[in-house]
């Protein structure tokens, strides 16, 4: 069983994703191997951003997986992981409004509770491994003023969450989507059900300025389809535009 693969527990590390990558480079990795840390000194977010944490209050883990998909389906795999995590959180608290903000942020009740960073290892034309990194706010009661749109499971529910049980459920859900991958169309349909602000107006910005657009859908290559105020349709790749929190 994949859930029987080793779990490496660390007090502190620069990044659980870095540790996992080192295991892969040293040919010591195996499917389902998981690295968990109480704290990260240099946690990684999307596009080089830093993930900060308070020791012991966040679920910080990286799972080594063999994706089981064609190399062209990298975003489909990302979407399946996001949906797997969202499903666990929805089962944890039926009243929560769980969404995924394009491409990989976990949203609970209109605030960011966590983020996913998937790093791929390609060998020739083969997708050999991926490292699925998750940072999820669990026990925090307060966030700095610089993070007004952050939340935690504790804030969202008012209750304590068993971190070890939660870790196990999320890990199992993620690993299941690697060994029994659903069809791409079903994954993308679920991802778009979860898409934060779908069919709603959202502000974006880039070097040219700031504007509003209505989110339509995310496609299998990860592009976001939006409708601009004049009715035209535009497509954005991640990194082309900045999401403006409101």
CA dist., res. 131 & res. 150, Å (int): 24
My answer on whether 224 and 118 are in the same domain is: no
What is the pTM assigned to this prediction?
A: 0.92
pLDDT at res. 34: 97
By residue count, the chain amounts to 246
Residues 215 and 120 in one domain: no
Final residue before a domain boundary, out of 175, 194, 213: 194
Name the domain boundary from 154, 170, 194. 194
| Same domain? 122 vs 215 | no
Same domain? 189 vs 206: no
Q: What's the CATH number where 58 sits? A: 3.30.930.10
Q: Enumerate residues 6+ apart whose C-beta is below 8 A from 186.
A: none
In terms of domains, do 100 and 213 share one?
Answer: no
pLDDT of residue 237: 95
Whether residues 222 and 176 share a domain: the answer is no
CA distance 117 to 244: 20
* Statement to judge: residues 165 and 207 lie in one domain: no
Token pair of 203, please? Answer: 């502000």
The reported pLDDT for the residue numbered 47 is 46
pLDDT (average), residues 141-157:
93
Is 131 in the same domain as 233? no
Whole-number Å distance between alpha carbons of 215 and 217: 6
143 lies in the same domain as 205: no
Same domain for 46 and 122? yes
Residues 197-240: tens digit of each pLDDT: 999 999 999 999 999 999 999 999 999 999 999 999 999 999 99
16 and 116 in a single domain? The answer is yes
Query: DSSP assignment, residue 106?
Result: E
pLDDT in tens, 10-20: 999 999 999 99
Burial of 111-130, coded b for 16+ CB within 10 Å and e otherwise, reads bbbbbbbbbebeeeeebebb
- Specify the number of domains making up the chain: 2
pLDDT in tens, 162-201: 999 999 999 999 999 888 888 999 999 999 999 999 999 9
Task: Please tell me the predicted confidence (pLDDT) of residue 179.
Answer: 83
- pLDDT mean across residues, the chain: 92
Residue 52 clears pLDDT 80, i.e. is over it: no
Residues 155 and 207 in one domain: no
Average pLDDT in the 118-145 region? 93
> 105 is in which domain, residue-wise?
2-194
| Angle of helix 74-92 versus helix 163-179 axis, rounded to 10 | 140
CATH code for the domain in which residue 209 is found: 2.30.30.140
């Amino acid at each position: 069983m994949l859930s029987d693969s080793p779990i490496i527990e660390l007090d502190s590390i620069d990044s659980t994703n870095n540790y996992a990558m080192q295991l892969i480079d040293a040919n010591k990795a195996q499917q389902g191997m998981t690295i968990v840390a109480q704290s990260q000194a240099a946690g990684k977010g999307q596009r080089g951003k830093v993930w900060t944490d308070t020791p012991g209050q966040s679920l910080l883990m990286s799972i080594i997986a063999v994706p089981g998909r064609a190399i062209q389906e990298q975003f489909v795999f990302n979407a399946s992981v996001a949906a797997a995590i969202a499903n666990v959180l929805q089962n944890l608290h039926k009243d929560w409004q769980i969404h995924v903000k394009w491409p990989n942020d976990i949203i609970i009740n209109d605030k960011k509770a966590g983020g996913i960073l998937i790093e791929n290892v390609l060998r020739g034309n083969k997708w050999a491994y991926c490292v699925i990194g998750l940072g999820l706010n669990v026990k925090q009661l307060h966030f700095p003023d610089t993070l007004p749109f952050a939340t935690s499971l504790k804030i969202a529910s008012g209750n304590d969450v068993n971190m070890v049980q939660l870790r196990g459920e999320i890990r199992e859900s993620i690993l299941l989507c690697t060994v029994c991958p659903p069809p791409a169309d079903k994954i993308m349909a679920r991802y778009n059900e979860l898409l934060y602000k779908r069919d709603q107006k959202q502000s974006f910005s880039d070097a040219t300025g700031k504007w509003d657009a209505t989110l339509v859908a995310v496609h299998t290559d990860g592009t976001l389809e939006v409708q601009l105020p004049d009715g035209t349709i535009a497509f954005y790749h991640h990194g082309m535009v900045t999401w403006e929190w409101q």
